[in-house]
Amino acid sequence: MTETPANLLDLDPEALASYFEAHGQRGFRATQLIKWVHQQGVLDLALMTNFGRGLRELIETTTAFSFPEVMNCYESTDGTLKWLLRVGNGSAIETVFIPEMDRGTLCVSSQVGCALNCSFCATAKQGFSRNLTTAEIIGQVWVAARHLGQHPKTQRRITNVVMMGMGEPLLNFTSVVAAMKLMLDDNGYNLGRKRVTLSTAGHVPGIDLLRETCPVSLAVSLHAPDDDLRDELVPLNRTYPIAELLDACRRYVSNNPHDQITFEYVMLDGVNDTPAHARRLARILRGIPAKMNLIPFNPVVGAPYRRSTPAAIDIFRRELAGAGLLTITRKTRGEDIDAACGQLVGQVVARSARQRRQQAALNA
């Protein structure tokens, strides 16, 4: 039987070493290949000068390098870039690069669509198709890094990656962690642990497993100070209510006392943005090393919300700061190309309603 070519981008450093060893090669070949592919962007085996002919033939005949395909790239007036990437079967995902003076942040997707149905998020309205493979996740970083290296504004580079794009990353745990290990690897993208952030809507078992497996920076999409309101905004809260979620956050930072949890809070006019909401929020977060990230709501077609006024956001921020919480208001970026927080939609060929219910039951 002909061996099915393995996509080498699907393998984290340990798995790649195992692949070479299984084919009679030394494990250190994995380090060499990671340097060629991820550090230097080289895919041409003829240019991999420290590989002999036999090794190059092995890689050529048994493996492949398969990336998401760039369908389009959009640039905002503020410099934000958004790529639309084809991932097969009529579906596409979106990846966003946000340049700032002292950093360049890449927002990476983990699923085609999302099954969590948060009421203020554009991705949720696209339905859910499938999890992305490791290759499709790390491929977003590879594509963006190559594009930015060719960009006329040569100071643009990726210094931070946030798993905050389409999908709930903890519901695609294995592939997401494998991709993040390549982001962290010294021979890959060499990002420090605090420069890779995973954002979750609050999947408690996933938070605990991440703590044991790959403890990168954690961001939690909170958006409400009580269960009744959060049940409405983030339906996953009905399975993992706030008390359970915050206990998981305390466990997450228990081994690293200098770490903080970033709590994300979308500001919805008249819904969750009053001083009373802020005071309740400060109470429930007491004792957790935390940073509050207030996110002005970005318009989503069909969502019954409006952005809180600047005055309301400022009063809310001052309430939290007065309670001792480090609080910032996120600057809206890329809104003119629908690249702002909560606006990513891609092209999702969604599963049937029955399949989505089955997926949700498996993920619970």
Using DSSP bridges, classify how beta strands 261-267 and 326-329 pair: parallel, antiparallel or unpaired. Answer: unpaired
Number of CB atoms found within 10 A of residue 331's CB:
11
Number of CB atoms found within 10 A of residue 283's CB:
10
DSSP letter at 36?
A: I
Tell which wins on pLDDT, 150 or 132.
132
Q: Give the Cα separation of 356 and 364 in Å (integer).
A: 12
Give mean pLDDT, residues 90-94: 89
164-173 per-position pLDDT tens digit: 999 999 999 9
21 is catalytic: no
- Name which of 52-61, 195-204, 312-321 the model is least confident about: 52-61
123-134 per-position pLDDT tens digit: 777 788 899 999
pLDDT band, residue 65 (cuts 50/70/90): confident
User: Beta strands of the chain (E only): which ranges?
Assistant: 6-7, 63-64, 69-75, 81-88, 91-99, 104-107, 111-113, 128-131, 160-163, 196-200, 217-221, 261-267, 290-296, 326-329
- Contacts (Cβ under 8 Å, ≥6 apart) of 350: 113, 126, 127, 128, 129, 356
Tell which wins on pLDDT, 300 or 4.
300
Instruction: Count how many Cα atoms sit within 13 Å of the Cα of residue 79 in the half-sphere of its side chain.
Output: 16
Tell which wins on pLDDT, 155 or 323.
323
The whole-chain average pLDDT of the chain stands at: 88
Inter-residue contact 319 to 267 (CB < 8 Å):
no
121 is catalytic: no
pLDDT at residue 248 greater than cutoff 70: yes
Tell which wins on pLDDT, 355 or 268.
268
pLDDT band, residue 246 (cuts 50/70/90): very high
pLDDT band, residue 64 (cuts 50/70/90): confident
Q: What is the pLDDT of residue 48?
A: 93
Percent of the chain surpassing pLDDT 70: 88
pLDDT at residue 99 greater than cutoff 80: yes
Catalytic residue (one of 73, 94, 100, 114): 94
pLDDT at residue 355 greater than cutoff 60: no
Confirm or reject CATH 3.20.20.80 for domain 69-363, answering yes or no: no
What is this structure's pTM?
0.90
Residue 274 vs residues 97, 250, 316, 318: alpha-carbon distances, Å: 32, 26, 7, 12
Give mean pLDDT, residues 269-280: 97
Give mean pLDDT, residues 346-354: 51
Q: Give the Cα separation of 210 and 220 in Å (integer).
A: 13
Inter-residue contact 342 to 266 (CB < 8 Å):
yes
Asked if the domains 6-64 and 69-363 are classified in one and the same CATH topology, the answer is: no
Q: What is the pLDDT of residue 352?
A: 43
DSSP 45-71: GGG-TTS-HHHHHHHHHHEE---PEEE
pLDDT band, residue 5 (cuts 50/70/90): confident
The topology (CATH level 3) of 6-64 is DNA polymerase; domain 1 (1.10.150)
Taking the CA atoms of residue 169, residue 174, residue 175 and residue 178 in that order, the dihedral angle to the nearest 10 degrees is 110
pLDDT band, residue 307 (cuts 50/70/90): very high
Q: What is the pLDDT of residue 226?
A: 98
- Domain regions of the chain by residue span: 6-64, 69-363
pLDDT at residue 362 greater than cutoff 50: no
pLDDT band, residue 349 (cuts 50/70/90): low
pLDDT at residue 265 greater than cutoff 70: yes
pLDDT band, residue 338 (cuts 50/70/90): low
Q: Give the Cα separation of 27 and 14 in Å (integer).
A: 9
pLDDT band, residue 156 (cuts 50/70/90): low
Tell which wins on pLDDT, 358 or 273.
273
Inter-residue contact 245 to 205 (CB < 8 Å):
no
pLDDT band, residue 301 (cuts 50/70/90): confident
One-letter amino acid of 361: A
pLDDT band, residue 230 (cuts 50/70/90): very high
Catalytic residue (one of 114, 118, 249, 341): 341
Question: Across-strand partners of 311?
Answer: none
Q: What is the pLDDT of residue 155?
A: 54
Q: What is the pLDDT of residue 335?
A: 66
Q: What is the pLDDT of residue 29?
A: 94
Alpha helices in 223-346 (DSSP H): 227-233, 242-253, 275-284, 310-322
- Contacts (Cβ under 8 Å, ≥6 apart) of 342: 120, 121, 122, 123, 266, 295, 297, 298, 300
